[in-house]
Amino acid sequence: MKNTSLASLATTALQLFRDNCYIKVRDRVRDAILNQIRRDRDGEMVDLGLVKASIYTFVEMGFISGDIVKQDDEFIWKGDKNNETHYNAHFAKQLLDRVSNNID
C-alpha cells in the first residue's frame, strides 16, 4: 500500500536537485540563455533546441508535487506545477527587462 503522506522518491530527488544544485547555477544559466537569444537575434547560429530545453528547466523547477514517469523512451515529469511562478520570477521577468531596455 502506498503511503500518500510521503513524497515520492522522484519528487524528493527533484527537490534535492533544485535545492542543492539548480539554485546555485540558476542565474548563470539564465544569463547564458539570454546571451544565446541575443546572439540568435543578431543572426548568429545557436542551438535552439538546447535553448528551449534550458528554458523549460525554469518551468520544471516550479513543481509542487508529482512524479517522474516513463513515456515511450523518455522520462517525463507528471504533476502539479507552481503556476509557472518560478519561471516568471527567475526567467521571464529578466527576458522582458532585457528586451524592453535593449540591454545585452
Kindly list the domain boundaries of the chain, sorted by start residue: 9-101
pLDDT in tens, 59-70: 888 876 666 777
Identify which has the larger pLDDT, 83 or 86: 86
Strands 74-81 and 63-71: antiparallel
Residue 46 has what pLDDT? 96
Helix H or strand E segment including 102? none
Residue 12 has what pLDDT? 82
Rg (CA), the chain: 16
Residue 7 has what pLDDT? 66
Cβ–Cβ < 8 Å for 90, 47:
no
Residue 15 Cα distances to 41, 77, 80, angstroms: 34, 13, 14
Read off the pLDDT band of 54 (50, 70, 90): very high
**CA 13 – CA 39 distance, rounded (Å):** 34
Asked if the model's pLDDT at residue 14 lies above 90, the reply is no
pLDDT in tens, 15-36: 888 899 999 999 999 999 999 9
